[in-house]
Amino acid sequence: MDPEILKKETKNLEAIIGKLEPKGGEIPQLNGIDIYGRTLPLHSIGGGDHLIWMDFKKRYDLKARIKEAKSAGVREKLKLNKTRGGILIADVEGHEITDAVTASGLHHAFLTGALYELERYGEITTHLFENLNTRFYSTSTIDDKNKSFTMLYGEISREGIFRYISAAHPMPLVFSEKVIQTEDEEKVIDFLNQVESKGTKAYSVDSTTDVGLRVTGLGGIVSLLRFPVEG
């Protein structure tokens, strides 16, 4: 192919990916907690690193869902989301511009699945990630090779509880003078050939704590959840 034509087509592809690449949404606003995060694509556009912010009040109209809840249990769990914020971090293998396609597929699948989770359970559960694991492992294939990715989803509450589920992703870094309590709950899954049962973590922390979330094992901190000192 003529080099000039190839260059032109490459620019067109970059422009298309730039428009198709989904945005992460607004950073959740929680009283007493500072939250920040961003990604820097290797090639300035696209790539496999992706953030999704979960401000439940804005994304899913909690008031309407609480009113329409089919059971008291679901209604009470939905109410808890008023003081919670979530973040999903995904790291697609390759970090090329076209890897944004895989990240985009995960973006829409996760947000759609989260909607049904809230309707059925009132909160996001491990069922969603098990289903994502099965679906993407079966279909994310390019040139007869699995296009793998890792993922971490975490939720922070206004009360200072940070809980997360990791799919083969680097664990959060906790910088604290004091971690009041850690406890195992539910399970961690891997986006490999099977779902593996492991312990997830729920951190109960005080106002001296920073929680850093990494996008890759070699990368720096991509998101920081900070609990300001009171007073």
How many angstroms from the chain centroid is the CA of residue 29? 16
Report residue 93 as tokens: 């293998």
Asked if residue 160 is part of any domain, the answer here is: yes
- pLDDT of 175 over the 70 cut: no
CA distance 182 to 120: 28
Asked if residue 2 is part of any domain, the answer here is: no
Work out how many domains the chain is built from and give that number: 1
pLDDT tens digits, one per residue of 65-117: 999 998 999 999 999 999 999 999 888 877 677 777 888 888 999 999 999 99
**CATH assignment at residue 114:** 3.60.40.10
High-pLDDT (> 70) share of the chain, %: 65
For 111-174, the DSSP string reads HHHHHHHHHHHSS--HHHHHHHHHHHHHH-EETTEE--EEEEEEEEETTSEEEEEEESPPPPEE
> For 122, phi and psi rounded to 5 degrees?
85, 0
pLDDT at 114: 95
pLDDT at 55: 92
CA distance 118 to 125: 9
pLDDT tens digits, one per residue of 209-223: 666 665 554 444 445
User: Residue 206's domain spans which residues?
Assistant: 22-226
Pairing type for strands 173-175 and 210-214 reads antiparallel
CA distance 141 to 56: 32
Report residue 78 as tokens: 């939905």
pLDDT tens digits, one per residue of 22-62: 788 888 888 878 888 877 766 666 677 888 999 998 888 88
Asked if residue 14 is part of any domain, the answer here is: no
Asked if residue 40 is part of any domain, the answer here is: yes
Asked if residue 37 is part of any domain, the answer here is: yes
Q: Of 62, 45, 85, 64, which is closest to residue 213 (Cα–Cα)?
A: 85
pLDDT at 217: 44
Sheet holding 49-54, edge to edge: 49-54, 84-92, 149-157, 161-167, 200-205, 179-185
Asked if residue 137 is part of any domain, the answer here is: yes
